[in-house]
């Protein structure tokens, strides 16, 4: 088991507080929520969602007013979350037909949607082309061929943005790097030249609205953003000479870092690898100056800059409320059994960054080491050793930093069709 990590401070001034020794989220008593709705229960903070949206919009539009922020709904496609972010001023990036339907349900217009993905279905393309969404981010020549076929079949003109491989390493882990030819994403320069030729040959059914790149996720390296800006400026200028009309937008992707710890002392027992992976050294103010500003300065005020943040909008907005249903003593330590396991919280395996708090005694000081386990018939369904109360049966525990993907991951990941 992992060593215990420090539990404090867990409070967030605007949405996670304590009142009369009870956990409050957006001013609502967490224990009362469980009494009303049962557990396990994910609870999202509307205040924090709006705060995150305002943070990125304010900073990016400070340097380029013509910036569109498209929330990457793969991070969390809960319709209520999507509605709040829409009200806060965000557009949306979808990754499947299911997310397209959810975006419509949440009230997003077609012109507020961009469509990502490496294996878009024909049926999905029929939906988005018929709706005339803002842009389809094209990942391959095979996809462009399919888009053209669909557009011809339904006699529509598809708005396409070509995803280029910038050959820039970004992301805190190898699996999070999406900007090199070793990843599964994007097109080479040669493939894009072929694609532009196709687009120019079929102006009645294909319009190239922009170029797109995404270098990875949880990117803290400022030089990676600087390289991305330099690459896309030069490439946009090159592509502009090949088209009979100007590009409308440059899509810079997302991948902005987020802290997965509420307190510096939570890093004491965490390896350097995880420290680099799960913390943010830069904020939107810095990213605005090193990424957005140079692109805007080089390409002008008329160019629309699109960004696609996901985790940075939602990862710190939710808590999981879980009830302790049973207790044992093993090796002179209490073991508490929660009603939430990895079927509810898949990232239990990286459990060090989940901060457990007794929602019914949120101001109490930890008194002893204990173990927290889930209900599943699997020995790995165990959280970690933690300094917790361990004194009263049927306590409530919360685990902050859960907003992105967790609430929908085990239901249907990014709303892909079910197996047949």
At residue 301, the pLDDT reads 95
Q: What are the distances in angstroms from CA 311 to CA 217, 308, 402?
A: 9, 10, 10
Q: Indicate if 174 and 122 belong to the same structural domain.
A: yes
At residue 216, the pLDDT reads 80
Catalytic residue among 31, 157, 370, 377: 377
CA angle 195, 199, 202 (to 5 degrees): 140
Question: 60: which 2 tokens?
Answer: 């990016």
Q: Indicate if 286 and 212 belong to the same structural domain.
A: yes
Residue 385's Cβ-count burial label (10 Å; 0-12, 13-18, 19+) is: middle
Choose one of 271, 300, 315: the last residue of a domain: 315
Among 260, 265, 262, 254, CA closest to 280: 260
Residues above pLDDT 70, as percent of the chain: 76
Least confident of 55-69, 214-228, 258-272: 258-272
Q: Indicate if 63 and 50 belong to the same structural domain.
A: yes
* 352: pLDDT strictly greater than 80: no
Q: Is residue 271 part of a domain?
A: yes
Residue 155 or residue 14, greater confidence: 155
Query: Is residue 418 very low, low, confident or very high in pLDDT (cuts 50, 70, 90)?
Result: very low
Choose one of 315, 333, 356: the last residue of a domain: 315
Is 157 one of the annotated active-site residues of the chain? no
Q: What is the pLDDT of residues 279-329, one digit of tens each?
A: 788 999 999 999 999 999 999 999 999 999 998 999 889 888 988 888 899
Query: Is residue 4 very low, low, confident or very high in pLDDT (cuts 50, 70, 90)?
Result: very low
* 343: pLDDT strictly greater than 90: no
Residue 217 or residue 54, greater confidence: 54
At residue 140, the pLDDT reads 92
User: Position of tokens 């803002």?
Assistant: 134
Q: Which residues contact 158 (CB under 8 A, 6 or more apart)?
A: 125, 129, 136, 147, 148, 150, 151, 205, 206, 207
Query: Is residue 269 very low, low, confident or very high in pLDDT (cuts 50, 70, 90)?
Result: low
Q: Indicate if 36 and 179 belong to the same structural domain.
A: no
Q: Indicate if 196 and 219 belong to the same structural domain.
A: yes
At residue 273, the pLDDT reads 63
Instruction: CATH number of the domain at 221, please.
Output: 3.20.20.10
Q: In whole angstroms, give the CA distance from residue 254 to residue 66.
A: 17
Q: Indicate if 106 and 205 belong to the same structural domain.
A: yes
Query: Is residue 345 very low, low, confident or very high in pLDDT (cuts 50, 70, 90)?
Result: confident
Q: In whole angstroms, give the CA distance from residue 84 to residue 45.
A: 10
Q: Is residue 58 part of a domain?
A: yes
Q: Indicate if 152 and 282 belong to the same structural domain.
A: yes
In terms of residue numbers, what domain contains 99?
46-315
Q: What are the distances in angstroms from CA 390 to CA 5, 57, 269?
A: 16, 43, 22
- Write down the mean pLDDT value for the chain: 83
At residue 409, the pLDDT reads 37
Residues above pLDDT 90, as percent of the chain: 53
* 69: pLDDT strictly greater than 70: yes
Q: Indicate if 225 and 337 belong to the same structural domain.
A: no
Q: Indicate if 190 and 89 belong to the same structural domain.
A: yes
Instruction: CATH number of the domain at 373, please.
Output: 2.40.37.10
At residue 309, the pLDDT reads 96
3-state secondary structure the chain: CCCCCCCCCCCECCCEEEECCEEEECCEEHHHHHHHHCCCEEEECHHHHHHHHHHHHHHHHHHCCCEEEEEECCCCCCHHHHHHHHHCCCEEEECCHHHHHHHHHHCCCHHHEEECCCCCCHHHHHHHHHHCCCEEEECCHHHHHHHHHHHHHHCCCEEEEEEECCCCCCCCCHHHECCCCCCCCCECHHHHHHHHHHHHHCCCCEEEEEEECCCECCCCCHHHHHHHHHHHHHHHHHHHCCCCCCCCEEECCCCCCCCCCCCHHHHCCCCHHHHHHCCCCCCHHHHHHHHHHHHHHHHCCCCEEEECCCHHHHCCCEEEEEEEEEEEEECCEEEEEECCCCCCCHHHHHHHHCCCEEHHHCCCCCCEEEEEECCCCCCCCEEEEEEECCCCCCCEEEECCCCCCHHHHCCCHHHCCCCC
Q: Is residue 110 part of a domain?
A: yes
Q: Is residue 173 part of a domain?
A: yes
Q: What is the pLDDT of residues 232-247, one digit of tens each?
A: 999 999 999 999 999 9
* 183: pLDDT strictly greater than 70: no
Query: Is residue 353 very low, low, confident or very high in pLDDT (cuts 50, 70, 90)?
Result: low
Q: How many independent structural domains does the chain possess?
A: 2
Query: Is residue 199 very low, low, confident or very high in pLDDT (cuts 50, 70, 90)?
Result: very high
Q: In whole angstroms, give the CA distance from residue 362 to residue 269.
A: 23
Q: pTM of the prediction?
A: 0.86
Q: Is residue 340 part of a domain?
A: yes
Q: Is residue 415 part of a domain?
A: no
Q: What is the pLDDT of residues 82-107, one digit of tens each?
A: 999 999 999 999 999 999 999 999 99
Choose one of 297, 315, 333: the last residue of a domain: 315
Query: Is residue 347 very low, low, confident or very high in pLDDT (cuts 50, 70, 90)?
Result: low
* 16: pLDDT strictly greater than 60: yes
At residue 236, the pLDDT reads 95
Q: In whole angstroms, give the CA distance from residue 298 to residue 351.
A: 44
Q: Indicate if 364 and 262 belong to the same structural domain.
A: no
- Report the pLDDT averaged over residues 147-153: 98
At residue 93, the pLDDT reads 98
Q: Is residue 4 part of a domain?
A: no
Q: Is residue 417 part of a domain?
A: no
Question: 86: which 2 tokens?
Answer: 């829409």
Q: Indicate if 86 and 221 belong to the same structural domain.
A: yes
Q: What is the pLDDT of residues 355-409, one digit of tens each?
A: 677 888 888 776 667 788 889 888 878 776 554 433 332 345 555 445 554 444 3
At residue 332, the pLDDT reads 82
At residue 178, the pLDDT reads 54
Q: Indicate if 39 and 53 belong to the same structural domain.
A: no
Question: 194: which 2 tokens?
Answer: 């072929």
**φ, ψ at 330 (rounded to 5°):** -135, 130
């Amino acid at each position: 088991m992992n060593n215990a990590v420090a539990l404090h401070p867990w409070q967030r001034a605007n949405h996670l507080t304590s009142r009369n020794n009870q956990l409050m989220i957006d001013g609502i008593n967490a224990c009362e929520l469980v009494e009303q709705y049962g557990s396990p229960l994910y609870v999202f903070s509307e205040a924090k969602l709006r705060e995150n949206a305002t943070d990125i919009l304010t900073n990016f539009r400070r340097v380029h007013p013509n910036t569109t922020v498209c929330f990457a709904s793969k991070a969390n496609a809960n319709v209520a979350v999507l509605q709040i972010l829409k009200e806060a001023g965000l557009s949306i990036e979808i990754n499947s037909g299911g997310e397209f339907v959810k975006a419509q349900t949440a009230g997003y217009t077609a012109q507020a949607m961009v469509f990502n993905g490496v294996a878009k279905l024909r049926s999905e393309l029929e939906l988005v082309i018929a709706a005339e969404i803002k842009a389809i981010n094209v990942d391959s020549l095979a996809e462009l061929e399919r888009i053209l076929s669909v557009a011809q079949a339904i006699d529509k003109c598809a708005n396409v943005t070509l995803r280029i491989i910038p050959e820039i390493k970004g992301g805190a882990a190898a699996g999070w790097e999406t900007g090199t030819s070793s990843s599964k994403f994007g097109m080479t320069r040669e493939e894009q030249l072929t694609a532009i030729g196709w687009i120019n040959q079929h102006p009645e059914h294909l319009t190239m609205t922009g170029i797109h790149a995404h270098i990875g996720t949880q990117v803290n390296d400022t030089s990676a953003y600087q390289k991305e800006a330099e690459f896309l400026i030069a490439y946009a200028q090159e592509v502009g000479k090949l088209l009979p009309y100007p590009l409308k937008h440059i899509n810079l992707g997302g991948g902005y870092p987020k802290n997965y710890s509420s307190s510096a002392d939570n890093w004491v027992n965490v390896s350097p690898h995880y420290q680099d992976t799960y913390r943010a050294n830069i904020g939107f103010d810095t990213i605005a100056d090193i990424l957005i500003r140079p692109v805007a300065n080089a390409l002008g005020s008329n160019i629309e800059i699109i960004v696609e943040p996901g985790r940075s909008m939602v990862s710190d907005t939710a808590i999981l409320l879980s009830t302790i249903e049973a207790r044992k003593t093993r090796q002179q330590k209490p073991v508490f059994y929660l009603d939430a396991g990895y079927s509810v919280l898949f990232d239990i395996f990286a459990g060090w960054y989940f901060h457990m708090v007794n929602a019914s005694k949120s101001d109490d000081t930890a008194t002893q080491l204990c173990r927290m386990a889930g209900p599943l018939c699997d020995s790995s369904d165990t959280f970690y050793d933690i300094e917790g109360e361990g004194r009263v049966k049927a306590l409530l525990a919360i685990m902050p930093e859960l907003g992105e993907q967790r609430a929908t991951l085990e239901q249907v990941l990014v709303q892909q069709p079910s197996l047949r």
